């Protein structure tokens, strides 16, 4: 009986930490994430890579003869459960803001140039500051990353799918 009570108390503590932090699991290995392009933009190679925890890295090469604008406030991460999270541009992963800004300035990417940046979800800042890692609620389903751009006066979307693989067992 005491083992059952200890187990229930431990589960209650995990539930409480989860509710307070927004992180579904703590101190567990990361799921491996593979991001594949599902909706490219012609003449603009875009690569998004998972960096661990709640961080992603973005590389954009503007091969167009005109400036393009990355619209951070219109860019989203859609979780495996369909929840939409605004993408937050990070200027320095080691100096995270305490809270997400109400609005983000778009980034202008000049013609024939390369732009690199890190990002996270604006709802994941608390998790990021504590180095915890949320895990997908449904790792069979895919998540999605949608980046919004303004190109020649028109709004255009790049989209990538995020597939999850369980952590490798030691």
- Asked whether 106 and 4 are in contact (CB, 8 A), the reply is no
According to the model, what pLDDT value does residue 30 have?
Answer: 73
According to the model, what pLDDT value does residue 137 have?
Answer: 83
- Asked whether 111 and 47 are in contact (CB, 8 A), the reply is no
Distance, CA of 113 to CA of 139 (rounded, Å): 36
pLDDT at 133 over 60: yes
Q: What is the pTM of this model?
A: 0.80
pLDDT band at 170 (very low <50, low <70, confident <90, very high): low
- Pick 15 or 108 by higher pLDDT: 108
Residue listed under structure tokens 């449904």: 138
Considering the domain 30-165, what is its CATH architecture?
Answer: Sandwich (2.60)
Alpha-carbon radius of gyration of the chain: 18
- Pick 159 or 131 by higher pLDDT: 159
Taking only the tens place, the pLDDT of each residue in 32-69 is 899 999 999 999 999 999 998 899 999 999 999 999 99
Write a three-state SS string for 80-148.
CCCCEEEEEEECCCCCCCCCCCCCCCCEEECCCEEEEEEEEEHHHHHHHHCCCCCCCCCCCCCEEEEEE
Q: Which two tokens stand for residue 99?
A: 């809270």
According to the model, what pLDDT value does residue 139 have?
Answer: 73
Using DSSP, state whether 36 is helix, strand or coil: strand
Q: Where are the domains of the chain?
A: 30-165
Taking only the tens place, the pLDDT of each residue in 78-120 is 999 999 999 999 998 888 998 999 999 999 999 999 999 999 9
């Amino acid at each position: 009986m005491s083992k059952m009570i200890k187990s229930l108390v431990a589960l209650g503590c995990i539930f409480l930490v989860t509710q307070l932090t927004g992180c579904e699991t703590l101190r567990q290995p990361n799921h491996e994430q593979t991001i594949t392009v599902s909706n490219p933009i012609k003449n603009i190679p875009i690569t998004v890579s998972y960096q661990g925890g709640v961080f992603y890295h973005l590389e954009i090469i503007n091969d167009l003869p005109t400036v393009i604008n990355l619209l951070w406030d219109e860019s989203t991460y859609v979780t495996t459960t369909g929840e939409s999270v605004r993408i937050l541009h990070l200027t320095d992963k080691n100096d995270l803001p305490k809270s997400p800004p109400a609005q983000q300035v778009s980034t202008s990417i000049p013609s024939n140039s390369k732009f690199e940046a890190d990002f996270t979800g604006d709802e994941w800042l608390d998790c990021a500051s504590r180095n915890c890692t949320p895990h997908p609620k449904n790792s069979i389903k895919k998540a999605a990353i949608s980046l919004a751009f303004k190109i020649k006066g028109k709004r255009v979307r790049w989209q990538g799918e995020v597939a999850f693989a369980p952590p490798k067992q030691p």
